[in-house]
Structure 1
């Protein structure tokens, strides 16, 4: 089960990195409830535990409004207040102190340009952010840390942004129109040679835009065979000298001597 949980968490982190440009080191914005959960369950050091969850180095942040809220809660949250003061503070633009959830929602915004992860234990606040903002949410369950899966709202924004990247903008369309008109005008002025006559690419109008459906390139012509890979032709009336193998065969034929039957039987004796 632990391996499956890690795969899900890494998959959600990959979704936000690919679709929305989250990069390492990951910035995690913590509220008072999340810091208190880390302290009471002794999840220390917090940065190493969160880095293991996200699969990369992290930087922990909080706001002045969160610190002010922890101070109001009294002695029961004294340890969590000290732990929150150890974190770096993210700047909130409002002058007067606000509620922690309002402050954090203003810092994140709808587009989350600073690419913050948010750590909170408030379930209602998490549901609200999933329907309004592009922010991955981290929460604790006893001594384990988890990430909420991307919501339908966040997936729709990812799909729409991907479609925008694939389609051309009006400026790009105008630039492409000018470039195609320039290429067509240059082709008319230059003309074609006798040896380079090839069919001009057709211009097809798609969505009011003239685009060439074929690439403009020179046609490859057939070439002769490689002379190094071809064997030499044999002449019919070949008067050249015989090869060495033929000469050796002739020499062996000349050197062989046939012995007569008398020589084999030996010299005849005289009576």
Structure 2
């Protein structure tokens, strides 16, 4: 179960960090119910308990309205009040103290620009905050803490943002059209014709986009390259100095014939006779 819990928490953290820009160290905004739950279940120190869930260092925050509410609850919440005084007090613009749930919703705002994790045991407050994009929620069950998975509203909000990024806005479209006109401004007849068609179809964005496509195709016909073309690396020939020269077949055949001829031909050796006997016979006669 611990492995499943850790993997689920990891998925929710990646969702909020990737889609809403949460960064370390994480800020956790605690209300009185959550602080009281930590003290009753002896989950102290609170920063280490929350750091184990979020696998990072944590800064704990609260508000003046939360502290005032804990004062009003009496002696049963005195330990929670002492512990809450040790937390960092987040700024809330209330001259008179308001209920804790209202104060936290106003501090979070519409988009949670301060990137707060909200820790609360109040189910009604958590349901309200699930309808605000980019608000991760933490709650406790006995001696364990849990990070809620993103709600259906938050997932749909992220999907709509991704779809908007896929399409151009009106301002982006106008900037793109102006830049295309400046690039295509020249002395060619094709460019002048495309500018006339764009001016005619300025009211219709689809027709003007088609005109820009036509102008780009005409530009490519002229011979202007839109993208740099790189030469492909081809296999190089081997180093001629490291390779032996190939012998032709004719040279090989000639060398073989010479070897065979040398082996068949017999050497004629001349016998050198001594002429001493001949000279002695001549003298005796």
**TM-score between both structures, scaled by the size of structure 2:** 0.71
For structure 1, the residue ranges without an aligned partner over 5 or more in a row are 192-202, 230-239, 260-271
CA distance in 2, matches of 1:247, 1:126: 99
2:133–2:157 Cα contact (<8 Å) kept: no
CA distance in 2, matches of 1:18, 1:208: 37
Partner of 1:145: 145
* C-alpha RMSD of the superposition: 3.2
CA distance in 2, matches of 1:208, 1:82: 68
2:31–2:119 Cα contact (<8 Å) kept: yes
CA distance in 2, matches of 1:40, 1:58: 21
Alignment of 1:232-271 (within 5 A): 243=251, 245-257=252-264
Q: Deviation of residue 115 (structure 1)?
A: 0.9
Q: Deviation of residue 257 (structure 1)?
A: 2.7
- The answer as to 2:124 corresponding to 1:124 is yes
Alignment of 1:151-162 (within 5 A): 151-162=151-162
- The answer as to 2:188 corresponding to 1:181 is no
Against the structure 1 CA distance between its residues 158 and 133, is the aligned structure 2 distance closer, same or farther, given a 3 Å change threshold? closer
Against the structure 1 CA distance between its residues 147 and 208, is the aligned structure 2 distance closer, same or farther, given a 3 Å change threshold? farther
Partner of 1:79: 79
1:109–1:133 Cα contact (<8 Å) kept: no
Against the structure 1 CA distance between its residues 55 and 73, is the aligned structure 2 distance closer, same or farther, given a 3 Å change threshold? same
1:29–1:116 Cα contact (<8 Å) kept: yes
Partner of 1:101: 101
CA distance in 1, matches of 2:72, 2:29: 20
Q: Deviation of residue 51 (structure 1)?
A: 1.8
Q: Deviation of residue 52 (structure 1)?
A: 1.9
Q: Deviation of residue 169 (structure 1)?
A: 1.8
Q: Deviation of residue 206 (structure 1)?
A: 6.3
Higher helix share: 2
Count of aligned residue pairs for this structure pair = 232
Against the structure 1 CA distance between its residues 186 and 33, is the aligned structure 2 distance closer, same or farther, given a 3 Å change threshold? same
For structure 2, the residue ranges without an aligned partner over 5 or more in a row are 192-197, 199-203, 239-247, 267-285
Q: Deviation of residue 184 (structure 1)?
A: 2.9
Q: Secondary structure at the match of 1:3?
A: helix
1:30–1:120 Cα contact (<8 Å) kept: yes
Q: Deviation of residue 114 (structure 1)?
A: 0.6
Against the structure 1 CA distance between its residues 253 and 190, is the aligned structure 2 distance closer, same or farther, given a 3 Å change threshold? farther
Partner of 1:217: 225
Partner of 1:199: none
Q: Secondary structure at the match of 1:149?
A: coil
| Structure of higher CA gyration radius | 2
- The answer as to 2:40 corresponding to 1:40 is yes
Q: Deviation of residue 144 (structure 1)?
A: 0.8
CA distance in 2, matches of 1:42, 1:112: 30
Against the structure 1 CA distance between its residues 29 and 226, is the aligned structure 2 distance closer, same or farther, given a 3 Å change threshold? closer
- The answer as to 2:124 corresponding to 1:92 is no
